[in-house]
Amino acid sequence: MPNRLVRQQSSIDYFIDCVVLSSFEGESSFLRNVFRTAGIRVHHADSISEADFLLTVTGSTVLLSDVIFAGGYWQGALDLLSKGHPLVTMLVIADPVDREFLEDIFLRGACGVIWKPFQFHAVTKLLRAAHEASRERRALFNENASRIRPPANAF
């Protein structure tokens, strides 16, 4: 019986929050339902401003952006992260026909591409890797910040 409780507790603790920036609510609903069993919570945003809000209030570590969404492109989502959420990692959701639009995706700072049709296990693995990258960024940021700050009793 105790093993069950430990497993339940660890699955609750391991939730990854991510925001999906897409014009297609149905796609986000599908991802929400599919990834819930993998411990990944999906929040849907249909604009840059809504993604900004959701990243802030949910503490999401990953942003999934369609190549094109209402009011913007994946580059705009990367700009949002660089200006306001530098510790969040980004993955782009794309169809194979979008390949030519994504030539410089890694040079611009995206962490990866999720190709349609979705392969559940591959996408789950990529989301977890992006989440870990975000956590590592946060740890490095906190470590560097503590080196810069003077000790509390320095003055």
Task: Report strand pairing: 62-66 vs 16-21.
Answer: parallel
- Name the strand (E) or helix (H) holding 63: strand 62-66
For residue range 83-105, list pLDDT tens digits in order. Answer: 999 999 999 999 999 999 898 99
* CATH H superfamily, domain 2-148: Response regulator (3.40.50.2300)
Average pLDDT over every residue of 58-69: 96
State the pLDDT at residue 9.
42
pLDDT at 109 over 50: yes
- CA Rg value for the chain: 17
For residue range 114-124, list pLDDT tens digits in order. Answer: 999 999 999 99
